[in-house]
Structure 1
Amino acid sequence: MSEPASTHPNQFALLGQRRFAPFFWTQFCGAANDNLFKFAFTVMVTYQLGVSWLPPSMAGLVIGALFILPFLLFSATSGQLTDKWDKTRMFRLVKNLEIAIMLLAAWGFVSANVPVLLSCVFLMGLHSTLFGPVKFAYLPQVLNERELTGGNGMVEMGTFVAILLGNVAGGLLVAVPEVGHAQVALACVGLALVGRLCAQFITHAPATDPGLVINWNPFTETWRNLQLAREKPVVFRSLLGISWMWFFGAVFLAQFPSFAKEVLHGDEHVASLLLVIFSIGIGIGSLLCEVFSRRHVEIGLVPLGAIGMSVFAIDLYFAARALPASDLMGVGAFFAQHRHWRVMLDLGLLALSAGIYSVPMYALIQMRSQPTHRARIIAANNILNALFMIASSVLAGALLSAGLSIPQVFLATGIANAVVALYVFLLVPEYLLRFVAWVATHFIYRFRVRGDENIPADGPAVLVCNHVSFVDAILLMAASPRPIHFVMDYRIFQRPVLGWLFRLAKAIPIAPHKEDPATYEAAFARSAEVLREGDLLAIFPEGAITSDGRLQPFRAGIMKILEQAQRDGLAVPVVPMALTNLWGSFFSRIEVRGGRNVAMVKPLRRGWLNPVGLEVGTAVPAPQVSPELLQQRVAGLLQQPQ
């Protein structure tokens, strides 16, 4: 389902392109600087300074709260500014602000002035609040749909690597005797300057809503942004899904120090090791999304990630609950005990699953949100993320206070994730359906698509395809980056599993007019509604699954659909498609019993992972369409060399 490498390079090749590379290194420097500053300050207050009004046990909590507070207060305003202004202007403004903050922080480190540094924590939170919406709103303006998943994966990977390096550098630099504070000061200012230099080369990305009037009230604007997101249920529920991921991840990240010390009996270096494993896992999972999605925005990966998050969180409980007590050990001793390898594997795969879970959701929000208020929706997501992370801390603290152990908290989080994921997927069946399609095209068939660039990226269109098997709709779903509404023979809905899936997909049942006139007319009324909403409609003009593998005559229903679209003032192209090499597979009719052709009676009839294909032809303008012409086009696609 991908273009040749020469015309569409992989996600790493984006680092060599002007539209992406300066942006990537700008956000990388910002994330590294955030964490270098915060961690160095935390270590300084915890180990090096005696501040009576800020005890070490409270330092991390206070610093974290101050950093997250601006997300609640200023995200709504930040989203508006990003939609109103040129994004390049926003990048440079934010990086100029970072330089000013880091100069103030440098003085705070050199003079060991804790109130000044606490003020800088809040200001760096403001910096991140301003940067978040412009970061995610910029990508869909400069990357096409095929690059969006890979671009988001690179950003997610880069962010976690930057967090890791920032924490490590902050801890090492501040610990150097006598000159540690000065080194941290220089490093913070230096990273801010490098980030600003990178921002200077970010390509132009014009404002999407330059006439926007800023609403400075963060509470009413936040509510308005959430209402904008609710206009598209899949976008709003994706916001909730991402916020849940931050809730889930915050439980683990917050407990790493205590988990390392009290459960794994490791020293502070073991706690750092857990952070390294988690960061690497997130990075690998984020990068795998492009490979698994064949360079499309594939939300079918979200259930896969959710399953992994629950499975490995639950197994982490079993891996950690029976570890014997011992003295605190370093990294070497920790690695020497084989029981710890299961803990590290669970943690790494949990993080990898979280990366697979989050990247397609971010890409979906970017692709499905209206460009004019995309940044405001992302700003609303940042607010939700902050609220969910706060709720995570409160709930985890309550569970621990109630007597649960840290592994039991992990177990409860894994079970809760499974319940929440199931609820979300039933609310937004597109995730579940795309997951079924993804599994079918990766583990049942070897699925190859040619010409999928002919599927319109936006606007209404009708897809017509030959009808070979009971899973034709699932295969078309896997080939399209956009959701498809299917018109299908009502008898397919009577199949036990497939019928449930197609009802979940809100497929449109159709029956012959003579058998059921009401169902027949309702199908055409619903089809017209789908096209008026600007969506894709797929029909199988043969009217039923072929019984002999040959293309059957196309019926005239397509003309009725196009006539109604014309009355609605819509120019609807028709895209011919052909499924190839599917006849004779398990889901097609081929076995004869009592004179009837039946399907799904012999698993592995043609072996495992047998190749099937989809050929997508160029669109036919509505005025030129006739059933005969479409049948001729589909027949021609079937005859193309495989």
Structure 2
Amino acid sequence: MSHPSQFSLLRSRRFLPFFLTQLLGAFNDNIFKQALILGILFKLNAQADQALLINLCALLFILPFFLFSALGGQFGEKFAKDALIRAIKLGEVLIMLAGAVGVLLGNLPLMLLVLFLMGSQSALFGPVKYSILPQALREDELVGGNALVETGTFLAILGGTIGAGLLMASSDYAALVAGSVVGVAVLGYLASRFIPFAHASLPQLALDWNILRQSWQIMRMGLGQRPAVSRSLIGNSWFWFLGAVYLTQIPAFAKDWLHGDESVVTLILTLFSLGIGLGSMLCERLSGGKVEIGLVPFGSIGLSLFGILLWAGSGQLAPADSAYDWLSLLAQPGSLTLLGCVVGLGLFGGFYIVPLYALIQSRTAEQERARVVAANNILNALFMVASALLSILFLSVAGLSVPELFLVVSLMNVAVNCYIFKIVPEFSMRFLVWLLGHSMYRVEARGLQVIPDEGAAVVVCNHVSFVDALLLAGAVRRPMRFVMYYKIYNLPVLNFIFRTAGAVPIAARHEDERIYAQAFERISQYLQCGELVCIFPEGKLTSDGQINTFRGGIERILEDNPVPVIPVALQGLWGSFFSRAPQRGLFRRLWSRIGLVAGQPLPASEASCARLQAEVQALRGERA
């Protein structure tokens, strides 16, 4: 099913002003933070230990996420989000004015205070940043919107880091940095003025100013969500754990293992950020515009694989008399492989993180969304602190090298995500469905917009292969409950997918009366709960490519549950490996193009077996 490119959002007022606002904020944070770090190292002649001051900078920026994320979550529910963003961005202008004074005077205590205030502003902005997207965007735009936000954020972080280095290299660095941070803050506020109205989701919420109590309650709310959401919060925070490990160790890795200078550090940061941006952008295309959590295991596999490859390839570059710059590094044998691993980490990180954010937003109740995002921010901060402690433990206490640390966290990634996927098997199920639809088949879907986004309905489809249900599940944005022959339901491997998806096994009455009766009871329960049920009325796979006679089970379902019926036809599957065609072959039809066509819904009163069979036959046409 065709849908507009995610880049079309950049032409929409629903998205562009917000996108620019958050991008400029991330850019400004990193200009000031990096300028402060470089100032401590090279400009300010601070009497205290430089390493201590730099770690203090990291602490001052991360501490507000523990202290104020819960408050930000409450604000995000109680107040109109557009007005709240403007108030926060106006606060950024005032904070950066103070920061400019600190830079011009070379006043380190004032700059450290401003850094803490910047972290506080970011902690308040985070919950509203992610909770406004589901209000502003349609469901089929949510993945693309998150992809653009993640790409913009990482590129802004990179741009701010590099920009600060360029500004600090000038003899007039103080005036340049001061003017830049104030100017960017003003631009961010002006961009926020164009954000459309976004209503408060819970205006009657009573604010709780007790930071500890509210933080604990919000954490319980976040981790008390349905398993798919709560484990997505853990997966999201785990990604920031990994990111913190890699980003923190990149300078040491570039110096000691790539024998490079500062330009090599910049090169690696650039490649990592571009990889995340590319992965985020590809998410929208690979997911077909829907929230496709099947990409999360795909991203997890890539994160571990490229982390292990980075460890395996380290130590192979020969040292030089002087440190390599980025150009001379590229000429060294083996360097492109290592840099490719860095890009791969970023690329699969994008595949991993974007669907998780979209899932959290789409499956959380609107009146709880900002607070759940606040819980996620607190978890992120905890995991990032844990990453620093673990790095100290492994590097300083256990004596591991930086590449060995990369190996350890890559193996830990396998363990953490196996836990997540075990608790929420939907991730693994959707991965297998997504893999099938992007390897053996290319699905061209048409007319699926007629399937309602909510409310009970029955989908009827011709039955050509053993994987019909998987192909439908991968193409339709909304989860469906499939009714299928019990022997297909019990097939090895596929049974895991069908059970996870809540499929309904059915048998002919003469085969097993109990299974037959239970199937109709479960179908009624699903429809009464407003769910979407898919049935193959032929009752068996076609053995000659033609549509078999529709049986009366669909009419029995509609007698008890008079819901709309949507005819759907599969095209081009006959002759594929999973069909019963005599000449089928695994590789002969590899990545074959198949069609999935939906017709107009019929009211239950008109949905006879004969009428539905004629509709499906017409939709399928001559393409068996």
TM-score (norm 2): 0.95
* 2:45 is the counterpart of 1:50: yes
- In structure 2, how many angstroms separate the alpha carbons of the residues matched to 1:640 and 1:43? 69
Q: How big is the shift at 1:497?
A: 2.9
* 2:439 is the counterpart of 1:443: yes
Q: How big is the shift at 1:131?
A: 1.4
- In structure 1, how many angstroms separate the alpha carbons of the residues matched to 2:470 and 2:205? 41
Q: 3-state DSSP class of the match of 2:484?
A: strand
* 2:167 is the counterpart of 1:173: yes
* Distance change in 2, residues 1:328/1:495 (3 Å): same
- In structure 1, how many angstroms separate the alpha carbons of the residues matched to 2:545 and 2:477? 28
* 2:2 is the counterpart of 1:11: no
- In structure 2, how many angstroms separate the alpha carbons of the residues matched to 1:284 and 1:184? 30
Question: Which region of structure 1 is more displaced relative to structure 2, 497-506 or 258-267?
Answer: 497-506
Question: Which region of structure 1 is more displaced relative to structure 2, 27-36 or 83-92?
Answer: 83-92
Match of 1:391 among 383, 386, 389: 386
Report sequence identity in percent.
47
* 2:60 is the counterpart of 1:66: yes
- In structure 2, how many angstroms separate the alpha carbons of the residues matched to 1:307 and 1:623? 49
- In structure 2, how many angstroms separate the alpha carbons of the residues matched to 1:231 and 1:531? 24
Paired residues of 1:281 and 1:355 also in contact (CA < 8 A): yes
The aligned residue for residue 342 of structure 2 is 347
* 2:584 is the counterpart of 1:590: no
The aligned residue for residue 603 of structure 1 is 586
The aligned residue for residue 597 of structure 1 is none
Q: Deviations over 1:418-451 (max 9, x none)?
A: 2222332232222222222222222211210001
- In structure 2, how many angstroms separate the alpha carbons of the residues matched to 1:493 and 1:463? 18
The aligned residue for residue 203 of structure 2 is 210
Match of 1:310 among 296, 304, 311: 304
Question: Which region of structure 1 is more displaced relative to structure 2, 609-618 or 225-234?
Answer: 225-234
1:531-570 equivalent positions in 2, closer than 5 A: 531-565=527-561
Q: 3-state DSSP class of the match of 1:213?
A: coil
Question: Which region of structure 1 is more displaced relative to structure 2, 184-193 or 287-296?
Answer: 287-296
**One-letter code of the match for 1:367?**
S
* Distance change in 2, residues 1:520/1:297 (3 Å): same
Q: 3-state DSSP class of the match of 2:576?
A: coil
**One-letter code of the match for 1:68?**
I
Q: How big is the shift at 1:621?
A: 3.3
Q: How big is the shift at 1:223?
A: 4.1
Paired residues of 2:317 and 2:332 also in contact (CA < 8 A): no
Gaps of 5+ in 1: 567-571, 593-600
Q: How big is the shift at 1:59?
A: 2.5
* 2:615 is the counterpart of 1:615: no
1:364-513 equivalent positions in 2, closer than 5 A: 364-401=359-396, 402-513=398-509
Paired residues of 1:429 and 1:505 also in contact (CA < 8 A): no
Corresponding residue pairs, total: 621
Q: 3-state DSSP class of the match of 2:465?
A: coil
Paired residues of 2:13 and 2:195 also in contact (CA < 8 A): yes
Q: Deviations over 1:552-592 (max 9, x none)?
A: 232333344445446xxxxx432221111112211111229
Paired residues of 1:485 and 1:507 also in contact (CA < 8 A): yes
The aligned residue for residue 570 of structure 2 is 579
CA RMSD of aligned residues (A): 2.0
Question: Which region of structure 1 is more displaced relative to structure 2, 22-31 or 258-267?
Answer: 258-267
Q: How big is the shift at 1:199?
A: 0.5
Q: 3-state DSSP class of the match of 2:482?
A: strand
Q: How big is the shift at 1:97?
A: 0.7
- In structure 1, how many angstroms separate the alpha carbons of the residues matched to 2:561 and 2:92? 53
Q: How big is the shift at 1:614?
A: 0.6
- In structure 1, how many angstroms separate the alpha carbons of the residues matched to 2:607 and 2:303? 48
- In structure 2, how many angstroms separate the alpha carbons of the residues matched to 1:140 and 1:472? 31
Q: 3-state DSSP class of the match of 1:66?
A: helix
Paired residues of 2:443 and 2:475 also in contact (CA < 8 A): no
Gaps of 5+ in 2: none
- In structure 2, how many angstroms separate the alpha carbons of the residues matched to 1:285 and 1:338? 27
- In structure 2, how many angstroms separate the alpha carbons of the residues matched to 1:463 and 1:59? 63
* 2:123 is the counterpart of 1:129: yes
- In structure 1, how many angstroms separate the alpha carbons of the residues matched to 2:313 and 2:166? 31
**One-letter code of the match for 1:185?**
A
1:141-152 equivalent positions in 2, closer than 5 A: 141-152=135-146
**One-letter code of the match for 2:2?**
S
Q: Deviations over 1:523-561 (max 9, x none)?
A: 233333333444322222222212222222323333444
Question: Which region of structure 1 is more displaced relative to structure 2, 182-191 or 451-460?
Answer: 451-460
**One-letter code of the match for 1:207?**
A
- In structure 1, how many angstroms separate the alpha carbons of the residues matched to 2:237 and 2:476? 27
Q: 3-state DSSP class of the match of 1:443?
A: coil
Paired residues of 2:429 and 2:496 also in contact (CA < 8 A): no
Paired residues of 2:564 and 2:603 also in contact (CA < 8 A): yes
Q: How big is the shift at 1:51?
A: 2.5
Question: Which region of structure 1 is more displaced relative to structure 2, 399-408 or 539-548?
Answer: 539-548
Q: How big is the shift at 1:301?
A: 1.6
Q: How big is the shift at 1:228?
A: 4.0
Q: Deviations over 1:114-172 (max 9, x none)?
A: 11111111111111111112111121112112221111111111111111111111122
- In structure 2, how many angstroms separate the alpha carbons of the residues matched to 1:222 and 1:544? 55
**One-letter code of the match for 2:423?**
L
Q: Deviations over 1:207-250 (max 9, x none)?
A: 22222222333444344444444332211111111111111111
* 2:278 is the counterpart of 1:278: no
* 2:146 is the counterpart of 1:163: no
* 2:317 is the counterpart of 1:323: yes
Match of 1:335 among 317, 330, 337: 330
The aligned residue for residue 596 of structure 1 is none
Q: How big is the shift at 1:286?
A: 0.9
* 2:513 is the counterpart of 1:517: yes
**One-letter code of the match for 1:328?**
A
* 2:354 is the counterpart of 1:363: no
**One-letter code of the match for 2:565?**
V
- In structure 1, how many angstroms separate the alpha carbons of the residues matched to 2:214 and 2:561? 38
Paired residues of 1:317 and 1:408 also in contact (CA < 8 A): yes
- In structure 2, how many angstroms separate the alpha carbons of the residues matched to 1:403 and 1:68? 27
- In structure 1, how many angstroms separate the alpha carbons of the residues matched to 2:517 and 2:225? 28
Question: Which region of structure 1 is more displaced relative to structure 2, 218-227 or 416-425?
Answer: 218-227
* 2:243 is the counterpart of 1:249: yes
Match of 1:263 among 246, 257, 262: 257
Question: Which region of structure 1 is more displaced relative to structure 2, 341-350 or 223-232?
Answer: 223-232
Paired residues of 2:317 and 2:333 also in contact (CA < 8 A): no
**One-letter code of the match for 2:576?**
S
Paired residues of 1:256 and 1:271 also in contact (CA < 8 A): yes
TM-score (norm 1): 0.92
Match of 1:115 among 109, 120, 123: 109
